[in-house]
Chains A and B, each alone.
Chain A
Amino acid sequence: MANYFNTLPLREQLAQLAKCRFMSMSEFDDGVDALKGKKIVVIGCGAQGLNQGLNLRDSGLDVSYTLRAAAIAEKRQSWKNATENGFVVGTYEELIPTADVVLNLTPDKQHTPVVKTVMPLMKQGACLSYSHGFNIVEEGMQIREDLTVIMVAPKCPGSEVRAEYVRGFGVPTLIAVHEDNDPKGEGLALAKAYAVGTGGHKAGVLMSSFIAEVKSDLMGEQTILCGMLQTGSILCFDKMIEEGIDAGYASRLIQYGWETVTEALKYGGVTNMLDRLSNPAKIKAFDLSEELKVIMRPLYNKHQDDIISGHFSQTMMEDWANDDKNLLGWRAETAETNFEKTPAGDVEISEQEFFDNGILMVAMVKAGVELAFETMTAAGIVAESAYYESLHETPLIANTIARKKLYEMNATISDTAEYGCYLYNHACLPLLADFMKDIKTDVIGKGLSTDDNGVDNARLIEVNAALRSHPVEAIGTVLRGHMADMKKIV
């Protein structure tokens, strides 16, 4: 199988990368009609599989689950998930031939064997749906010509997909049609109905392409989302210990700090996150982030280049074929970092203190978000995609760190994200070694001394203008505006 993206002419590559459009509510007026009466069979019953299935069934659709024979025979967790929720469960052989729509909600790594197994069983003219385009774009999976291939990807964890639906809302969702596999021209109608069935249309749907989804998703997850937070955690923690900060305090500041500062990011972008700092601290964070951006830009470029060229997925797939040697080795290393091994101390840190004593963390988030966004858009990915795959998802990952630190974060995210995260981390740690030498507790651990809150007016105006005029802020304001209109709650 050849990398699909690389088989396309440049003009087509650019056209596909640039696809991303925020759809209007009126485009979903037909509701779930396109799927009504059709038999939907879900492969895999993990968090996404189960929760999407629950939503689709509650929207009046016919949903059943297919699992490998062994999972059924051994009554594995996936089998329990499906049966306790009252779904029909059957083997591939039993259910796939009856399906009008097959939802492949297995982990990326299993896509090739799963799709190869189910494709011959699928009936003529049926639809195969993905929630991630890796298999099509990077692995170059060829799908039978009579089958329609779509993607529907809710941009939240499975539990959230369900919780929002039950509230009467949904989560932002990305949809795409694989144009090489749309023989009846019904791909878009099916994808829209699927998005309605999961409630996604209420929270906003982005019409994208398989290629834009893959190339932006990979970039976001390995750099700012997971990689930057992992590297930042390790560096900030070790620095604080080196400077004599209490280990319990340092551990707590990092573990919960990302979540707290990115909460501000979620509501009001980089600008709001920086606005939470005092004026001198804001200028400090801005200067640090400018420095970080200069040091890290080549690394972000390399990641994006390797993703676009297919080098990244190729090396990762080689590791898959090599029994995950690298991945498992790196995962074990993560468990051994000092930050991971030091439990958060039983100290109270107020919400504001996370900002005041975590200036460097704020600077790292700003640098990572802006670099990821700039690199993606420079590679031809449109701002909407770049925003969702960088700034929008950062708080979600920060939340998993708050819950259980780095090891758990890596266990929770996809294998592709985890692999990319380690790659980034290994390159970024030495890259920032010199930078970290000059770092003191005023920017991580203790905060600036508060004797003088004065700043130079001209400099403050410059910094504020720079923050507010960054392109990620412009698109963020538009997209968060859409969200706020739709979701009064936030």
Chain B
Amino acid sequence: MDNAIRLEKVTVNFDDRFALSEIDWTIEKNQHWVITGTNGSGKSALAAVLAGVGDIESGEVSGLPSHVGLVSFEAQAELIAKELKKDDADIMDVISLGTPVHEMIFDNCQDPKLAQELVEKFGLTPLLNRAFRKLSTGETRKVMLIRALSSKPNLLILDEPFDGLDAATLTMLQEHLISIVDTVPMVLVLNRFDEMPDFITHVAYMDKSALESKKTPKNRSEKAAIESGKLALTVDKNNEQAFHELYQLLHIKTTDLSVPEADPTNKLPELDPSQPLVKLKQATIKYGDTVIVDKLDWTIEQGQHWQLSGPNGSGKTCVLSLITGDHPQCYTNDIFVFGFQRGNGESIWQIKQFIGYVSTALQWEYRVSTSCRNVIISGFFDSIGMYSKSSDKQKAIADQWLELLGMKDRANQPFNKLSYGDQRLLLIARAMVKHPPLLILDEPCLGLDDMNRQLVLALIEKICEGQETTVLYVNHHAEDQIKGIENYLGLVKNS
């Protein structure tokens, strides 16, 4: 393959069952790619496009190789279906045995010598005369692999090639792939990073696309609900930082995102379910004659997730700090929070125990030298830094969060040495760790790159699905929405 394969703003439709939207992707020669991403994001679909599958609806595709070796569950299923069809089509009263394995492998084979070698290596020799459709899944896989590898392809696409292979075969296959690195470019679809061979040079990360409804032409409105995926980003494996972040992202996306449990020994006082979590009446914040927040009424019921938006200076953070008790003027306003009418002898720690909170200001204030694990544990104590002894249970929960964030190996590293994004992730875990009745996320994604942003949004969605936490999400942009949040409050700037 001399030329690069280029996909420019390519939108592909797969029988209206699935679509890929606006893919921009270039595979240069001598590159070996892994396609990875969330379930249902179109990893296999993208790989299949390279093999000429799917209807290109728009965009430019160039440099597709003339002969592609493709191994995938889809292709495997197709072959089996063909075999079954042969059986059905047999009009003679003879039981068809189906195509034997040796025919499947050696008919039309471009490199019989290699095929023979692989048959022996993969231990298929005793099965050569057996009908292909009688083979087990793993055996079928091996046949598929041998067919693809011995077809002298100018692009090899292996979709989850390692699934269903025993350990010995896996090793042999990997060794073989390494031996052909210089002869054929490869694209592997993998769900798990730890299966990625060393020779891979680039990673393409797919995510579900949220744009389908906007992008569907009006005359096909009934198809507005087509599931679709997009190529979220591509990463050069040599870029260690980006690669590490992608690893974390994939980790969290493909882990069956379950939020670690709260500390069962650290029970909060019961809240009366008939009362709102928060009730601000005519809330006003002013400095001298400057009014920042003017007579705001706002009630947050339990389980009612909110998004708060507004331009800079519209008082978003001020309003939040009335709720958290961080704003001194919370004592001059009519504020009811978590069963307390403010200013009646309650302490700020009695309020904060019900809140998990993350904001840019918090990150700025979190300038203490403590370990990553302690930063998460400090969420149990609502403190910045650790000043109390933590229990083994709390440490264990913190470790589960670190695992979830893909930062298990950093438990004892100093927090202040981490990148901004990693710090932010830990502070978000800190906010969530105690499963607070109210989780306040003040522009949690600010300063995060795409990958970390997606990771955080996935976590928030997950929390919104649960029962115990009410989410209050703050963002500049009203369009940046989170599934599960259905209440919106927009603040305007007081001039």
Check A59 against B368 for contact (C-beta < 8 Å): no
Q: Which of A146-200 contact B (CB under 8 A)?
A: 166-169
Chain B residues, CB < 8 A from A421: none
Chain B residues, CB < 8 A from A58: 325, 347-348
Check A86 against B329 for contact (C-beta < 8 Å): yes
Check B384 against A167 for contact (C-beta < 8 Å): yes
User: In this assembly, does B346 line the interface, its C-beta being within 8 Å of a C-beta of chain A?
Assistant: yes
User: In this assembly, does B137 line the interface, its C-beta being within 8 Å of a C-beta of chain A?
Assistant: no
Chain B residue nearest to A36 (CB atoms) is B345
Q: Can you name 22 A-B pairs with beta carbons within 8 Å?
A: A57-B331, A58-B325, A58-B348, A59-B347, A60-B350, A80-B288, A84-B328, A84-B329, A86-B328, A86-B331, A86-B332, A166-B384, A167-B365, A168-B349, A168-B383, A169-B383, A169-B387, A202-B387, A487-B385, A488-B374, A489-B370, A489-B386
Chain A residue nearest to B332 (CB atoms) is A86
Separation of A202 and B384 alpha carbons in the complex (Å): 14
Q: Which of B332, B346, B347 has the most CB of A within 10 A?
A: B347
User: In this assembly, does A54 line the interface, its C-beta being within 8 Å of a C-beta of chain B?
Assistant: yes
Separation of A36 and B345 alpha carbons in the complex (Å): 7
Separation of A62 and B381 alpha carbons in the complex (Å): 24
Contact of A488 among B332, B347, B348, B385 (CB under 8 A): B385
Contact of B387 among A60, A80, A168 (CB under 8 A): A168
Contact of B345 among A60, A168, A486 (CB under 8 A): A60
Chain A residues, CB < 8 A from B365: 166-167
User: In this assembly, does B382 line the interface, its C-beta being within 8 Å of a C-beta of chain A?
Assistant: yes
User: In this assembly, does B427 line the interface, its C-beta being within 8 Å of a C-beta of chain A?
Assistant: no
Separation of A80 and B288 alpha carbons in the complex (Å): 8
User: In this assembly, does B455 line the interface, its C-beta being within 8 Å of a C-beta of chain A?
Assistant: no
Chain A residues, CB < 8 A from B364: none
Chain A residue nearest to B386 (CB atoms) is A488
User: In this assembly, does A85 line the interface, its C-beta being within 8 Å of a C-beta of chain B?
Assistant: yes
Chain B residue nearest to A54 (CB atoms) is B328
Check B385 against A168 for contact (C-beta < 8 Å): yes
User: In this assembly, does A490 line the interface, its C-beta being within 8 Å of a C-beta of chain B?
Assistant: yes
Check B347 against A168 for contact (C-beta < 8 Å): no
Separation of A490 and B288 alpha carbons in the complex (Å): 37
* Cβ contacts B369-387/A at 8 Å (1 or 0 each): 1100010001001111111
Separation of A80 and B287 alpha carbons in the complex (Å): 9
Check A488 against B383 for contact (C-beta < 8 Å): no
With A59-B347, A488-B374: A169-B332 Cβ-Cβ less than 8 Å: no
User: In this assembly, does A481 line the interface, its C-beta being within 8 Å of a C-beta of chain B?
Assistant: no
User: In this assembly, does A345 line the interface, its C-beta being within 8 Å of a C-beta of chain B?
Assistant: no
Closest Cβ of chain A: how far from B394's Cβ, in Å? 14
Closest Cβ of chain B: how far from A97's Cβ, in Å? 22
Check A85 against B383 for contact (C-beta < 8 Å): no
* Cβ contacts A62-100/B at 8 Å (1 or 0 each): 100000000000000000100011110000000000000
Closest Cβ of chain A: how far from B354's Cβ, in Å? 15
Check A168 against B382 for contact (C-beta < 8 Å): yes
Chain B residues, CB < 8 A from A244: none
Question: A: which residues have CB within 8 A of B?
Answer: 32, 36-37, 54, 57-62, 80, 84-87, 166-169, 202, 486-490
Check A489 against B348 for contact (C-beta < 8 Å): no
User: In this assembly, does B68 line the interface, its C-beta being within 8 Å of a C-beta of chain A?
Assistant: no
Closest Cβ of chain A: how far from B347's Cβ, in Å? 4
Check A488 against B370 for contact (C-beta < 8 Å): yes
Chain A residues, CB < 8 A from B101: none
Q: Which of A37, A59, A167, A486 has the most CB of B within 10 A?
A: A167
Check A488 against B387 for contact (C-beta < 8 Å): yes
Closest Cβ of chain B: how far from A263's Cβ, in Å? 13
* Cβ contacts B348-365/A at 8 Å (1 or 0 each): 111000000000000001
Interface size on B, residues (CB 8 A): 28
Interface contacts beyond A61-B345, A169-B387: sample of 15 additional A-B pairs, CB < 8 Å, sorted by A: A36-B345, A54-B328, A60-B345, A60-B346, A84-B288, A84-B328, A167-B365, A167-B384, A168-B381, A168-B382, A168-B384, A169-B383, A488-B370, A488-B387, A489-B386
Contact of B385 among A60, A62, A87, A167 (CB under 8 A): A167
Q: Which of B299-356 contact A (CB under 8 A)?
A: 325-326, 328-332, 345-350
Separation of A487 and B385 alpha carbons in the complex (Å): 9
Separation of A486 and B325 alpha carbons in the complex (Å): 25
User: When A and B form their complex, which 4 residue pairs have the shortest distance between CB atoms, in order from nearest?
Assistant: A168-B383, A85-B328, A167-B384, A58-B348
Separation of A57 and B382 alpha carbons in the complex (Å): 18
Separation of A488 and B347 alpha carbons in the complex (Å): 24
Chain B residues, CB < 8 A from A86: 328-332
Separation of A489 and B331 alpha carbons in the complex (Å): 31
With A58-B325, A86-B332: A490-B369 Cβ-Cβ less than 8 Å: yes
Separation of A486 and B383 alpha carbons in the complex (Å): 13
Separation of A486 and B370 alpha carbons in the complex (Å): 13
Chain B residue nearest to A169 (CB atoms) is B387
Chain A residue nearest to B333 (CB atoms) is A86
Contact of A85 among B329, B346, B387 (CB under 8 A): B329
Q: Which of A37, A86, A87, A490 has the most CB of B within 10 A?
A: A86
Closest Cβ of chain A: how far from B81's Cβ, in Å? 64
Contact of A37 among B329, B345, B370, B386 (CB under 8 A): B345
Closest Cβ of chain A: how far from B345's Cβ, in Å? 5
Closest Cβ of chain A: how far from B289's Cβ, in Å? 11
Chain B residues, CB < 8 A from A60: 345-347, 350
Chain A residues, CB < 8 A from B386: 488-489
Chain A residues, CB < 8 A from B347: 32, 58-60
Check A59 against B332 for contact (C-beta < 8 Å): no
Q: Which of B33-66 contact A (CB under 8 A)?
A: none
Contact of A59 among B348, B381, B383 (CB under 8 A): B348
Closest Cβ of chain B: how far from A389's Cβ, in Å? 25
Chain B residues, CB < 8 A from A167: 365, 368, 383-385
Chain B residue nearest to A63 (CB atoms) is B331
With A36-B345, A58-B347, A59-B348: A487-B387 Cβ-Cβ less than 8 Å: yes
* Cβ contacts B229-251/A at 8 Å (1 or 0 each): 00000000000000000000000
Chain A residues, CB < 8 A from B385: 167-169, 487-489
Chain A residues, CB < 8 A from B382: 168
Closest Cβ of chain A: how far from B197's Cβ, in Å? 43
Closest Cβ of chain A: how far from B276's Cβ, in Å? 22
Q: Which of B326, B348, B374 has the most CB of A within 10 A?
A: B348
Chain A residues, CB < 8 A from B345: 36-37, 60-62
Closest Cβ of chain B: how far from A166's Cβ, in Å? 7
Closest Cβ of chain A: how far from B227's Cβ, in Å? 46
Chain A residues, CB < 8 A from B374: 488
Chain B residue nearest to A57 (CB atoms) is B331
Separation of A54 and B347 alpha carbons in the complex (Å): 11
Separation of A486 and B331 alpha carbons in the complex (Å): 31
Separation of A174 and B312 alpha carbons in the complex (Å): 43
Q: Which of B350, B378, B385 has the most CB of A within 10 A?
A: B385
Q: Which of B47-104 contact A (CB under 8 A)?
A: none
Chain B residue nearest to A80 (CB atoms) is B288
Chain B residues, CB < 8 A from A488: 370, 374, 385-387
Closest Cβ of chain B: how far from A59's Cβ, in Å? 5
Separation of A486 and B389 alpha carbons in the complex (Å): 9
